Structure 1
Amino acid sequence: MQNSHDDDRDNKELTDAQESPQEAETNGNNRRNRPNRRLTRHAVRTSGVLPLIPLRGMVIYPGVLLSFDVGREQSIRELWQAMTGLHELILSCQTSLEPYWPNQEQIYRIGTRAFIRQVLELPDDTMKVLVYGLERVEIDDYVSETPHYEVRYHSLLVNTPERTPQLDASARLMIDMFQRYAAITDRVAPESVALVRHEAEPGHAADIIAGQLSIRFDEQQKILETTPVHERIKLILRFLHREIQLAELEQKIASQVQTQLEKNQKDYFLREQMRVIQEELGEEFDSEDEVDSLREQLEKSSIPEDYKPKVAKEIDRLERLPSHFPEYATQRTWVETLLELPFGRLDKERHDLGRARKILDRDHYGLDKLKQRVMEYLAVRKLLVEKNGDSTLKGPILCFVGPPGTGKTSIAKAIAESLGRKYIRLSLGGIRDEAEIRGHRRTYVGSMPGRIIQAIRQVDTDNPLLLLDEIDKLGSDFRGDPSSALLEVLDPEQNHSFRDHYIEIPYDLSKVLFVTTANTVDTIPHALYDRMEVI
């Protein structure tokens, strides 16, 4: 059921349709004074007997079109009775929504005389009626109650008030507030705003606005019963102020809810669509099982306890992301990278100098001075183990310098084999980006750990022999200086808490045995050269 307003043409047609013979005789064919005639009519007391239809939960005001459905048998009879006469009837609201068919005490005494504009019979044996409110009336008594209500009424005098500055100011404020109300809610048709803006009579404008407010029917009835125009405007101003506040609050809440709802709905529909596609392709994938598996791996992992809550938080966040989101893959890769790092997992080291000498002699002919220096280095490591139980050597890093093909890389392999350590080679030639050493931050597209952490992940142990090949060919440009990052890797005072930009967790590199190679010492950065023992 919807309140609406007609345009000037419909008002003219309606006025013509409702003229009494006396009015037609007085006015003749001259229509230039029709607005004044409408106002004068409201100031003339009328009375008579008309059918009554009780309305449930709605009120119609003079000068307002109202469309509603009629389904009760008594109301349909009253409607047909009105259609056989002047096409007029009395509409008054029930005092309560509960009774299916109210008695006299359950119907307000103040109602509206209305003109029937249109009647449509619907397939479900109900009728849709379009009526136009004519004037406020008071029911004097009930002439008939069966088979339908007929009442004797008289109109309530609503004279056009004197236009005072106070009345004009109140009317202007009411119209301004109504325009504001219409702007923040979708319950008001634009035609109603235009009609109110061009309405010259404050009382009529007040009735139009009252018909557009979403207020309780008892409050609507109170407006209908308030005949003094200035009092009616004050009442409507109070309701408008309250409705504007409620509408603004609803708008704020609806915006917040809609934003979250749109996101949730979009996630849901996309997730369902992805699930159906995966089922059709035979590639069904359950992200919940994957998240549970990551949690189990976290519990069994050797990640330091101080950082496990952070990883667990990221897994929880991963659970809330749809599996087809790009961010899901990025987040999952980060968690998997952390879980695959050894974090304190060490291989057993051998310190058999005789075996080490045999391995060096087996793979290399000659190079006696080099072999002697390597054996001295291994002997020192053995003494450290016997004395401290730890072979970590904070002395200089071995650097083999010589032309290509002289056995630098193979010597490093022999050292790894003699110590029982895993061997991995990292070529530094041509590296100019610091991120190659420290890794890329997770905010970058395609980010990944630095080469050092990738090497540790590859060998799956914290004490490999890591050969940094061609350290003399490191470069630098606007993307940073990789030698500065490498300095932290090789410095025994810093590498126990090396922080890769990607994993964002300090990693202990102090157990790694670093060996470097170079073709010449001239291009090795000075800071790195100072930490090496060149052979």
Structure 2
Amino acid sequence: MLFGRDAGEGELENRTEEEERLNIPEILPILPLKDTVIYPFSVQPFSVGQERYIRLIDDVMRSNRLVVLVAQKSPDIDNASPDDIYRVGTVSRVGRMFRMPDGTVQIAVQGLERVTVDEFTQETPYLMAKVTAKPDKQESDNETEAIKRNVISYFQRLVALVQNVPEGVAAATLNLEEPRQVVYVIATFVQMDMELRQKLLELDSVQEKLIQLSNFLAHELEILELGKKIQNSAQEEMGKMQREYLLREQLKAIQRELGEESEEQATANELRRKIEEARMPEEAYKEANRELSRLEKLPTVSPEYSIIRTYVELLASLPWSKATGAQIDVPHAREVLDQDHYDLQKIKERILEYLAVRRLKEDRMAEQVERERENVDVEDGVEVEKIIPTQPLVAQEAA
């Protein structure tokens, strides 16, 4: 929402004699507001679009220009009824009115005094009700003065951290003498929940208002200052990383000019040598080279650098082309898995199934080779001593 500082900056600080002698009529029109609470001493513009409320403004401008501004309980209601609005509002004077080309009306209002809505006398074409002035209870003790000064101090610190408060407002609050002026002016310019805004208006004691506003500002300051600290820390860390990256790039350029090999390049070359010696399958070989290419493009300070390096080293260290030559023993493999790994039954079963299939395949290949040799012996008519293989053929080839 915009605020009319220029229209009534002086009126925020001192009420005129006319306002001191304000005579509130017994019955006044009621204008419900969505997501907005108008306080005494505040000067604010807003738009009126509904036909019934435009008619209300026209009638008010032809009379005493006084209207009671009351917040709605729910912003989703377009035609608020007496049950949809709060019972405490602010009697305000309509200062200016402009008709816009789109049919809406722009008005500027100044809050004058709190009132209670007692009894509705009219609901169509717009709401009218009997109202009673409800002046604030102003304490003048030292405690109230101390809380007021704390609120002003909190507000000035808050203005320095946010960008949505008009210039000069923080300085203007230093010139406010009445505690209730401090409450209403500061509450107008800070962002807070609708419930708290209405609560500040409904509280009778100015000291209670100051306490509520002080607690809110202290909480907001704590969050904003913590966020500022985190932001500054992140910016410093990013600046440090950028400086290190630039220095490392400059160092690489110097090493290239001198024909020297940098530490990062030496690491990449060593990993490339290990990949070539590992004799990986084609799919694993492509994956290892792809990750190595990523590694060469990353700075060493990057969190991904150590992860990718560990992954590539693991791929290169696996025994892709090595075999022990021993016969596969499925029962012994089960014992080793149960001893070294707790639970993981499904994974163990999958490993044992794979080993069992490998053992069965080797046994069948060995039987096939044995039958072929026997057939060759029979055809030649020569009795040849049978050769009993001591280990599967696949294991012999791998060895």
Q: 2:154 aligns with which of 171, 177, 184?
A: 177
The equivalent of 1:216 in structure 2 is 193
Q: 1:103 aligns with which of 64, 81, 91?
A: 81
C-alpha separation in 1, matches of 2:53 and 2:230: 41
Give runs of aligned pairs for residues 263-412 of structure 1, distance below 5 A. 302=276, 315-316=293-294
1:50 and 1:82 in contact (8 A); partners too = no
TM-aligned CA distance change 1:243 to 1:303, over 3 Å? farther
C-alpha separation in 2, matches of 1:256 and 1:146: 59
The equivalent of 1:94 in structure 2 is 72
Q: 1:153 aligns with which of 117, 120, 131?
A: 131
Distance apart, 1:189 and its partner CA: 1.3
Distance apart, 1:11 and its partner CA: 2.4
Question: Is residue 226 of structure 1 aligned with residue 224 of structure 2?
Answer: no
Q: 1:239 aligns with which of 216, 228, 244?
A: 216
TM-score in terms of structure 2 length: 0.57
Distance apart, 1:2 and its partner CA: 2.4
SS of aligned partner of 1:230: helix
Question: Is residue 138 of structure 1 aligned with residue 116 of structure 2?
Answer: yes
The equivalent of 1:350 in structure 2 is none
2:7 and 2:43 in contact (8 A); partners too = no
Letter in 1 for 2:99: E
C-alpha separation in 2, matches of 1:39 and 1:87: 13
Question: Percent identity among equivalent residues?
Answer: 26
Letter in 2 for 1:178: F
- Give the number of the structure whose residues are more often helix, by fraction: 2
The equivalent of 1:11 in structure 2 is 11
Larger radius of gyration: 1
Distance apart, 1:208 and its partner CA: 0.4
C-alpha separation in 2, matches of 1:78 and 1:311: 77
The equivalent of 1:429 in structure 2 is none
The equivalent of 2:266 in structure 1 is none
Count of paired positions: 264
SS of aligned partner of 1:59: coil
Distance apart, 1:302 and its partner CA: 3.7
SS of aligned partner of 1:11: coil
TM-aligned CA distance change 1:38 to 1:88, over 3 Å? closer
1:5 and 1:208 in contact (8 A); partners too = no
Letter in 1 for 2:78: Y
Gaps of 5+ in 2: 239-271, 280-284, 300-399
Give runs of aligned pairs for residues 59-74 of structure 1, distance below 5 A. 59-74=37-52
Question: What is the Cα-based RMSD across aligned positions, in Å?
Answer: 3.9
C-alpha separation in 2, matches of 1:320 and 1:101: 61
Letter in 2 for 1:200: E
C-alpha separation in 2, matches of 1:172 and 1:299: 72
The equivalent of 2:337 in structure 1 is none
1:63 and 1:134 in contact (8 A); partners too = yes
TM-aligned CA distance change 1:303 to 1:38, over 3 Å? farther
TM-aligned CA distance change 1:79 to 1:250, over 3 Å? farther
2:41 and 2:185 in contact (8 A); partners too = yes
The equivalent of 1:448 in structure 2 is none
The equivalent of 2:344 in structure 1 is none
The equivalent of 1:53 in structure 2 is 31
TM-aligned CA distance change 1:134 to 1:247, over 3 Å? same
The equivalent of 2:142 in structure 1 is 165
TM-aligned CA distance change 1:131 to 1:259, over 3 Å? farther
Distance apart, 1:239 and its partner CA: 1.3
Distance apart, 1:134 and its partner CA: 0.7
1:53 and 1:91 in contact (8 A); partners too = yes
The equivalent of 1:198 in structure 2 is 175
Give runs of aligned pairs for residues 434-445 of structure 1, distance below 5 A. none
Distance apart, 1:301 and its partner CA: 7.4
TM-aligned CA distance change 1:83 to 1:38, over 3 Å? closer
Distance apart, 1:187 and its partner CA: 2.0
C-alpha separation in 1, matches of 2:50 and 2:232: 40
Letter in 2 for 1:198: N
C-alpha separation in 1, matches of 2:167 and 2:37: 21
Letter in 2 for 1:11: E
C-alpha separation in 2, matches of 1:299 and 1:130: 78
Distance apart, 1:122 and its partner CA: 2.0
1:412-455 Cα offsets, whole Å, 9 max, x none, are xxxxxxxxxxxxxxxxxxxxxxxxxxxxxxxxxxxxxxxxxxxx
- Once the two structures are overlaid, the 10-residue window that deviates more, 86-95 or 239-248, is 239-248
1:53 and 1:92 in contact (8 A); partners too = yes
SS of aligned partner of 2:168: helix
Distance apart, 1:255 and its partner CA: 6.8
Distance apart, 1:131 and its partner CA: 0.9
TM-aligned CA distance change 1:149 to 1:259, over 3 Å? farther
1:377-408 Cα offsets, whole Å, 9 max, x none, are xxxxxxxxxxxxxxxxxxxxxxxxxxxxxxxx
C-alpha separation in 1, matches of 2:63 and 2:19: 25
Distance apart, 1:249 and its partner CA: 4.6
The equivalent of 1:2 in structure 2 is 2
Distance apart, 1:246 and its partner CA: 3.2
2:4 and 2:108 in contact (8 A); partners too = no
Distance apart, 1:142 and its partner CA: 1.5
Distance apart, 1:3 and its partner CA: 3.6
C-alpha separation in 2, matches of 1:259 and 1:104: 56
1:90-109 Cα offsets, whole Å, 9 max, x none, are 10000111211111011101
1:271-299 Cα offsets, whole Å, 9 max, x none, are xxxxxxxxxxxxxxxxxxxxxxxxxxx79
1:121 and 1:127 in contact (8 A); partners too = yes
TM-aligned CA distance change 1:143 to 1:182, over 3 Å? same
Letter in 2 for 1:315: S
SS of aligned partner of 1:111: strand
SS of aligned partner of 2:98: strand
Question: Is residue 82 of structure 1 aligned with residue 60 of structure 2?
Answer: yes
